Structure 1
Amino acid sequence: MNSLNLDTLTSPRIATLLFTLLSFAAPIDGLAADASPNDKRPNILFCFADDWGWPHGHVYGDEVVRSPALDRIARNGVLFEHAFVSSPSCTPSRNAVITGQAFYRLGEGANLHSTLDRAHPNFVSLLEDAGYQVGHYRKAWGPGDFTAGGYQTHPCGPNSTFDAFIAKLDTSKPFCFWFGTSDPHRPYKLGSGRESGLAIDKIDVPPFYPDEEIIRSDIADYYFEVERFNNEVDLVLDKLEQMGLSDNTIVVISGDHGMPFPRCKGNLYDGGTRVPLAIRWPSKVPIGRRVSDLVSLTDLAPTFLEAAGVRVPAQMTGRSLLPILSSKAEGRIDSSRNAVIVGRQRHTPAQESPSINGYPSRGIRTDEYLLIVNFEPDRWPAGVPSGSTHPINSFADCDNGPTKSRIMECNQDAENQQYYDRCFARRPAEELYVLADDPAQVDNRIDDPSLAEVAKILRNQLYEKLRETNDPLVVGNQKQASAFDRYPYRAKYELNK
């Protein structure tokens, strides 16, 4: 969801710490005036990868992965170093982006393979109503059934290639195009990363996996698809330049959550919620800057609307990034943007059959700490070891692949048991990580007496924000909170009975 304002948590200042909640934009619903013959409103090109997480971009310091489009947009725009999704699962993440709202406010849309209620304002629809030409390519909204939410047509506009869309464009009017992809979602071609020339031995393996060739190779296969997505975006950027449209086009590149590996996708650690983000707008945005503000992808919808002159609906919990984009400063630009809230409900029906329960969790991420609250710690964070409703029988919330298979084997190996436990074992009701000492977030310090006051402050601020934004887990009754587990799972395959 949207960024928060949390003063730096340092021991000498804990007693006097004040948390200043961000003030939401309070515009009135409405539309911009009709486009004029000389419409100068910006075009919008939103390039969104599937399962691409931070820090897997060359510009972020990863020496192995190749990310030409991300690097190109960052050079000519702004690179965000702390961007987060609202939820580390495809449908709720994308629903949060398109509505500019925290995922848990979206009813059924908080779950994977769900829908999107037409009652929630949608930035694409609002732009279309304001005279924008809209469209998308491949994966944009979803997965799920948008007709169940009241849509007659796709929430992101007609589906076509970018070349076909641009060929029919009325250049007197602005456009908004969502360039989607299934890269780098699994499955991967085994060995594709090595075959493409990636330096397998130089890959930085996260400390929650054993550093073994099978895992480095699996990460390289993921990197191969990261590069493939970037190469496609590069061609779209070339097309914009050839048509003379680059100067007044806002280009955004990002991913819907972390990589499809254990303890990443579907988890509230940085491996699941932190994503690449770069934005350029040559006619308006000072270039080549790195920004450290903590931002949420829910901020994109109000950014697009404000740039287009469309009033931002009051329901949107995100807030516009235009002040950051128009600034000439680097580093921390807006002091109020030093925390974000993340969370999840049901990813897949991964608990014991016949249940379709999820794993409800919320977290608050600051510059220094990550606090996670697991509301049902008796459930399994990645699903049960066997016997779930989902066709993936073991740990169904984690995509199958070589890394998952290797980590599952660690349960039979005392020397490597730690990797299995970190990825698949049950977790306590609360987790607290100190990022300076533990950037990978593997050492839970919630029981450390010296951090008790820190945990209390973070817990209070998390719940305060959840109450303010009407999270059913906090402000609703038990029936409302459990509704997330009762919503249908709208995948196109049979669940196990």
Structure 2
Amino acid sequence: MNKHVLIGSVLGFMTMAAVQDAVAVELSKPNILFCLADDWGWPHAGAYGDKVIKTPTFDRLAKEGVLFEHAFVSSPSCSPCRNSILTGQQFYRLGPGANLRGTLEVEDPNFMVLLRDAGYQIGHWRKAWGPGDYGPGGYTEHPCGPESEFDAFMKGRDPNKPFCFWFGTSDPHRPYAEGSGAKSGIDINKIHVPTFYPNTKDVRSDIADYYFEVQRWDTDVGRAIKLIEEVGELDNTIIVMTGDHGMPFPRCKANLYDWGIRVPLAIRWGGKTNPDRRITDFVSFTDIAPTFLDAAGIQVPTEMTGSSLLPIMNGEAEGRVDKERNFMVFGRERHVLCQKSPSLEGYPSRGIRTDQWLLILNLKPDRWPNGVPFGGTSRYCKSSFSDVDPGPTKSFITGNPEYKKFYDLCFAKRPAVELYDCKNDPDQVKNLAKDPAYSTMANQLKEQLLNYLESTGDPRFTDEPVQFDDYPHLKPPHVVNKRNKKK
């Protein structure tokens, strides 16, 4: 054989082998399906013991994977929460991204972009990043990749590449079809009503309408999982199912109580995750990006304040696995524009949660925690207390003076410090901050919180300029699938 032909043949085989090796490496990386609901909070899933709501998809993931008992968002507001997920950082580190309808700075690490650059095919459906405008942050395309329905994405994807898909929804965000829960068969008389609401038919029916949309979301995720099963990729796919903060009700969404910042979280990774385990470690949404990057073999950027959950997920222990994960820090700045017109001010607050205690620091207690009763800023304040989405529960409490106790809990101004015993007061309605018997505990928690905020660069507790109240309230650059509600 001609030596040049021989050499060419050898080089050809070497090239083919290299290509095959590269494809094998890519295929060894797990796919990722990240399923995020809009306004779905803890503990509204069957796996957490709710006897009324039906969430078979979430319950299956919990059974076949890991159920997290103490999962918390960085901030109980859509844009800052989603920014914290993408960047793996606490919301207050993200400049204009710390507010609702802000932006996302292209300089901050973005796990979707990092996965794409490492060979992943990425995409999203319905609500992923936002709301806001990513243009001022330097992005020229959606931060979560192209938008498409998941079945179209699966049909059009390159089978030689792993994928990461952000499966979003606007369920169970308001508005609701009033009475839809009861009409679907939900028994409103069995609805659990938290102690900061009056237990009335109006309130129970409103919660049932929310349940109805949670159940619809659960069904959507079930369809997505079936598509992955049909192509034989289930056990090579990390599936995460959760919500971006608490339900859109008074004292929940946009608040730092458990009903605002604690969320359902189940993660399944077939063949890797030992199934049917309940974990009580405190985990944050800032841990999601490091987890995905770690699973893909990508170095986690040093800017990320979160840490990978793989050591917890892939172990065998239950309960408290990592003894260091025994507290969580979160906070908020501006939700909607709802302080006194024409102010751009928000309601800055920070909180720390341990197994037993919740401490909240309201940094501007002279402001209204859920917006002013009247005279708010701009067109976004179409009603009183505009940080709270309009709905029957809000209307009932604000429209019936005889329920002043609930009105005060949900809408009145709050003290600079709040302290709750979460074991004896799970709904966190009895503030112990002024009780001398608890002063030592309050001071210890405050010191722990401030140390964390300082060490992670919160501008309100460092020498950095504090600009949260100055950032613009941005409109989306375009509107695509604005509601995505099924009629």
TM-score (norm 1): 0.90
Counterpart-to-counterpart distance in 1, 2:22 and 2:202: 58
Aligned to 2:454: 467
2:409 aligned partner: 422
Once residues 315 and 181 of structure 2 are traced to their aligned partners in structure 1, the CA distance between those partners, rounded to angstroms, is 39
Q: Write the distance in 1 (CA, Å) between the matches of 2:188 and 2:134.
A: 41
Task: Measure how far apart 1:436 and its partner are.
Answer: 1.4
Aligned to 2:238: 250
Cα deviations across residues 238-283 of structure 1 (Å, max 9, x unaligned)?
A: 1111110001100000000000000000000001000000000002
Deviation track 1:395-438 (CA, whole Å, cap 9, x = no partner) reads 0100000000011124x22xx21100000000000000011110
Q: CA deviation at 1:35?
A: 8.0
In the alignment, the residues of structure 2 paired with residue 77 and residue 247 of structure 1 have an alpha-carbon distance, to the nearest angstrom, of 11
Structure 1 CA distance for aligned equivalents of residues 173 and 209 of structure 2: 11
Residue equivalent to 2:322: 334
- Which of 298, 310, 313 aligns to 1:310? It is 298
| Equivalent position of 2:160 in the other structure | 172
Counterpart check, 1:269 vs 2:253: no
Q: CA deviation at 1:492?
A: 5.9
| 1:69 paired to 2:57 | yes
The residue number in structure 2 matching 1:7 is: none
Task: Give distance in 2, aligned partners of 1:236 and 1:314.
Answer: 33
Instruction: Give the residue type in structure 2 aligned to 1:459.
Output: K
1:139 aligns with 2:127: yes
Helix, strand or coil at the partner of 2:361: strand
Asked if 1:37 corresponds to 2:37, the answer is no
> Are the counterparts in 2 of residues 387 and 393 from structure 1 also a CA contact under 8 Å?
no
Looking at structure 2, the residues matched to 391 and 207 of structure 1 have their Cα atoms a distance apart, in angstroms, of 27
What is the number of residues matched between the two proteins? 455
Give the counterpart letter for 2:91 in structure 1: F
2:434 maps to amino acid: D
CA contact (8 A) 1:294 1:340 kept: yes
1:491 equivalenced with 2:475 (yes/no):
yes
1:118 is displaced (CA, Å) by: 0.3
Deviation readout 1:344-388 (Å, 9 max, x if unpaired): 000011101111200000000000100000000000000000110
Give the distance between the partners of 1:375 and 1:344, measured in 2 at CA: 10
Aligned match of 2:435: 448
Deviation at 1:469, TM superposition (A): 0.5
The equivalent residue for 2:398 is 408
Contact 2:54 2:215 in 1 (8 A): yes
Shift of 1:491: 3.2
User: SS at 1:287's partner residue?
Assistant: coil
Q: Of 307, 310, 331, which aligns to 1:319?
A: 307
Contact 2:421 2:428 in 1 (8 A): yes
Listed as ranges, the matches of 1:75-154 within 5 Å are: 75-154=63-142
1:11 equivalent in structure 2:
none
Q: Distance in 2 between matches of 1:372 and 1:476?
A: 22
For structure 2, the residue ranges without an aligned partner over 5 or more in a row are 1-18, 478-487
Gaps of 5+ in 1: 1-32
1:210 maps to 2:198: yes
Structure 2 SS opposite 1:37: helix
Which residue does the alignment assign to 1:296? 284
In structure 2, distance between residues paired with 1:104 and 1:160: 31
Tell me if 1:436 matches 2:426.
no
- Pick aligned residue for 2:44 from 51, 56, 72: 56
Q: CA shift at 1:447, angstroms?
A: 0.8
If you compute each CA radius of gyration, which structure gives the higher value, 1 or 2? Answer: 2
TM-score (norm 2): 0.92
The counterpart of 2:176, out of the listed 184, 188, 196, is: 188
Question: Which amino acid is the alignment partner of residue 488 of structure 1?
Answer: P
Q: What residue number does 1:399 align with? A: 389
Q: How far apart, CA to CA, are the structure 2 residues paired with 1:325 and 1:392?
A: 45
Q: CA deviation at 1:476?
A: 2.9
Q: Which residue of 1 is the match for residue 484 of structure 2? A: none
Moved >2 Å (runs of 4+): 390-393
Report % sequence identity. Answer: 58
Per-residue displacement from partner, 1:71-116 (whole Å, max 9, x unpaired)?
A: 1111110000110000000000000001000000000000001100
